[in-house]
Amino acid sequence: MSLPSRSLDPLPPIDEVRPGVWSIPVPIPNNPLRYVLVYAFHTDRGAYIVDAGWNTDDSFETLRAGLKHIGTSIDDVQGVMVTHIHPDHYGLAGRVREASGAWVALHPADAALIHDRYEEPDDLLDRVGAMLRRAGAPADELVSLREASMAVRPFVDAVQPDILMEDLEKPEVPGWDLTALWTPGHSPGHLCFYEGRYRLMLSGDHVLPRITPNISVHPQASSNPLGDFMRSLERVGQYVTDEVLPAHEHRFVGLSSRVRELIAHHEARFLEVVESIREGYDSTWDIASRMHWSRPWERINGFMKRAAVGEAMAHLRALEARGVVRAIEGEPLKWELLAS
C-alpha cells in the first residue's frame, strides 16, 4: 500500500496559544482539511494532549518533532484526550500510548463504536448498504458508496481507551482546569473540553470557524443526530469563552456568534429540504440531489456523496422530530410534508 502524499502547502506554525498551551498542526494526507490541530498542555510531568492525529509515520514524526519543539517529549505524554473517534483525531492515540504509557480517554458513546467500525466492519457495511438502499441510492452506486470509508481503516490503530470520559468529568491534568463537555452530533460521543483558567473552548470538530461539520444519519448515529448537534451547539455557546481552539482550520474569537451562524445555516437547510419535498421529490437521495452543496451534485463522489446523503437524512430526521415531515416506510422510504 502506498501512502498518500502530503499536501504541498506548508502547515501553519506551532503556536503558544496561552502560556503553557500549545497548538501543533499534524498533517492529514490527501484531505482538504490538511491537518488536525493537536493541543498540548504543559505540566511538570510532561504534556497532556487533546487529539492525536492520523495514524501515519509522517503524522507521528510531526507530532514527535512538535512536542520536542515546545520543550517536552512524546515519551513523556501523560494523557491523550480524544474529542471523537474519527481517524484524524483518534487514529494515532494508540501509538502515542505505546511510546509514552499515556492514558487515552474517549467518551463511552464513541468507545462503543470501535469494534464494529474498525475491527469487524462487515456487519456495519451491510447496515450502511441497507440504509443507502432505503435512501434510494441507485443500484450502480450502492457498492462504491457502501465501501467508501474503508480506505481510511489502515490509518486507525483501534485501541480501547483507558478512561471512559463522561460529561462534566474533569480529566486529571495537574495545574489545569479542564472539563469534558459531551456534545453529540458530529459523532455520538463527541467531547469538547473547556479550560477554565484561560476560558478556552477546545471544540474538536463540533465548532469550526469556517466550515460546518458533517452531521449524518448512519447506523452508528442516534435517531436524530442533527437535533443532538443543535442542542450541543446551544450548550457550548453558553460558556464564557475568550477563544475557541478547534481541531481544524484556525483558532478564533466569538463562540456564541459562530454558534448562531451554524444554527442559522441548518435552519436554511431545513427550508431547502421542505421546498424540494413540496416540489415533489420524495426519496432521501432525490432530496439530497436538490440541496446546495459545495460543488454540483454530479461531481460529488465516494465518501463525500455518502456524507451528503447522510446529511440530507439528518435534516429529514430532525424535521420529522419537529413534526414537519413524516416517513412512509418502504424501499425507498418516502417523505411527505405534514400539514401545518
Tell whether residue 51 is a contact of Zn ion (CB under 5 A).
Answer: no
CA atoms within 13 A on the CB side of 20: 17
Please, what is the minimum distance in Å from the beta carbon of residue 71 to Zn ion? 27
Does residue 86 touch Zn ion according to CB under 5 A? yes
Beta carbons of 325 and 274 less than 8 angstroms apart: yes
User: E strand or H helix at 195, and its extent?
Assistant: strand 191-195
H-only helix segments in 112-254: 114, 122-135, 139-146, 225-237
Which residues is 155 bridged to in the sheet?
none
110 is an interface residue for Zn ion by CB under 5 A? no
Cβ atoms of 90 and 191 closer than 8 Å: no
Return d(Cα 5, Cα 1) in angstroms, integer.
Answer: 12
Question: Which residue, 86 or 117, has its beta carbon nearer to Zn ion?
Answer: 86
Provide the mask over 188-207, with x wherever binding to Zn ion is found by CB under 5 A and - wherever it is not.
-----------------x--
> Three cell numbers at 198?
484561560
Closest CB 214 distance from Zn ion, rounded Å: 7
Q: Which is nearer to Zn ion, 152 or 333 (CB)?
A: 152
Q: Which is nearer to Zn ion, 35 or 335 (CB)?
A: 35
When asked if residue 117 is in the footprint of Zn ion (CB under 5 A), the reply is: no
Is 88 among the residues that bind Zn ion (CB under 5 A)? yes
C-alpha span between 38 and 64 (Å, rounded): 11
CB of 51 vs Zn ion, minimal distance in Å:
8
**Binding residues with Zn ion: total (CB under 5 A):** 3
Smallest distance, Zn ion to C-beta of residue 31, A: 9
* Residue ranges binding Zn ion (CB under 5 A): 86, 88, 205
